Amino acid sequence: MKMLFILLAFPSFIKGCTGLTLYGEVGGTVVFQCHSTKKEIKYFYFQGGTDFKKVIIGYHKTKKPDEPSRPDTYLNHADKTVTFRNLTVSDNGTKKCIISHGLPGGMTEDTTITLIVTATPNAVTIEHHNPESAGDVSNASLTYLLDLLRLIVPVLVCVGGFAWWKKCKGNPLSNEQRPQSAPQADPVSASEEVAEREIFVPQPPVAEDLEMETMNNTNSNENM
């Protein structure tokens, strides 16, 4: 009969919640709700680390538990909750609630919960200057501004270049704006140029011409 009772009660003891996920932010607070089918408990431990061997905080009905291994951690055995305050990124990981009711067999109800802590902009440590100085900007703001300029400047250059190209393509230079070539003199024909250069120079009489003229004069005298 005792063995039958254990077999019937076994599913209710091992069915605890598994695969739950809890989200938090750096500096915030989360509450782990552990599963229990009975109000009275003998002990309640909240563990983490490798193979859940690290006891973070615990409660025992007849023993005084050790101090929590994590600061700002609180356990309420009445409502079966564990509270983490001032979360940090190192709190990420899977935790396990182990609750025992002191029944025969030493069986426990376990609840496995995965905590995911995300960092917020306000939680990031940034070195700020004295806010009283006018025009002072934090390092984070300056870095953000430089990154923004790196993205905007190439876009502005591309847009400006495209607008200039489109304007030049749509408005070509008029005849008055186009550069005028220097006027060229009218070409002079080769014959006219030679004619202008030729100068009449009287040629001296040739010997044959003088001989002919002498003969003509002699014949004229004989006829007379």
| CATH number for 101 | 2.60.40.10
- Is residue 48 included in any domain, yes or no? yes
End-to-end CA separation in angstroms for the chain:
196
- Is residue 169 included in any domain, yes or no? no
Distance CA 146, CA 81 (A): 47
- Is residue 110 included in any domain, yes or no? yes
pLDDT for the residue 142: 73
The per-residue pLDDT for range 162-207, each reduced to its tens digit, is 788 777 776 655 455 555 555 555 555 555 555 555 555 555 555 5
- Is residue 164 included in any domain, yes or no? no
- Is residue 157 included in any domain, yes or no? no
DSSP line for 43-78: EEEEEESGGG-EEEEEEESSSPPPPPSSSSEEEETT
pLDDT for the residue 131: 47
- Is residue 102 included in any domain, yes or no? yes
Q: Which domain holds residue 82?
A: 29-119
Q: How many domains does the chain have?
A: 1
- Is residue 140 included in any domain, yes or no? no
The pTM of the full predicted model, rounded to 2 decimals, is 0.47
Distance CA 34, CA 194 (A): 122
Q: Which helix (H) or strand (E) holds 141?
A: helix 139-170
pLDDT for the residue 57: 96
- Is residue 205 included in any domain, yes or no? no
Q: Are 101 and 40 in contact, with CB atoms under 8 Å apart?
A: yes
The stretches in the chain having pLDDT less than 70 are 1-18, 121-140, 170-224
